[in-house]
Amino acid sequence: MKFAVVVFPGSNCDRDMYFAAKDALGAEAELVWYQEAELADYDAVLLPGGFSYGDYLRSGAIAATEPIVAQIRSAAEAGKPILGVCNGFQVLLEMGLLPGAMLSNKHLKFMCHYETLIVENADTLFTNEYEEKEEINIPIAHGDGNYYCDEATLQQLKQNRQIAFTYKTNPNGSVGDIAGIVNEKGNVLGMMPHPERAVEELLGNADGLRLFQSILTHWRNRHAINA
């Protein structure tokens, strides 16, 4: 399995994402510059955190207008796993691949610490290595992480089981305590916490590694069936 880590001007978690996929998970991975990327050759696309284009206009708004967006959309339509973390989540929202929008944290302060997440749906290609309702510890680092959607969209997310993770203690005001959601098809995940920063016990926590292992497990099962 081969991962593409898309790098925009202002990405600053791309190396962490690359390390998680290549070194911690042991899969093939490449950093791809957004203007030169050809995503058709990759099995999964990772959109890292950071501040693409300095978060001018809105977080992720400018990155979501780049030509590479058409390739990301094609990969999503083909059923490939698309993971957007923090700024990557914001880009997916701006692209319209996921519903809702991102607001500033309720206390208008940048937050950087561990949060306890609850795995709300362990039956996705991103969460199959977790247990339903399992509590995991994943770091957050954001100023605009207050997820918002209207009531009708929230009910739709619940009915379709599109809420992958919630916060045990909501740090930023996100509606429904939401920390991460998937699209209706289940192959696009956006989340504000950083699983790529929690992939080694040496660093104090490996709870995030199972998210990447889930993607790999899904890919192996899918290709074994199709072989």
- Convert the pLDDT of each residue in 79-104 to its tens digit: 999 999 999 999 999 999 999 999 99
Structure tokens at 212: 């990447």
- State pTM to two decimals: 0.95
Which residues are known catalytic residues? 86, 194, 196
Enumerate residues 6+ apart whose C-beta is below 8 A from 115. 137, 138, 139, 140, 167, 168, 169, 171, 179, 193
Looking at the chain, the whole-number percentage of residues with pLDDT higher than 90 is 91
Over residues 105-120, the mean pLDDT reads 96
Q: Average pLDDT in the 28-34 region?
A: 96
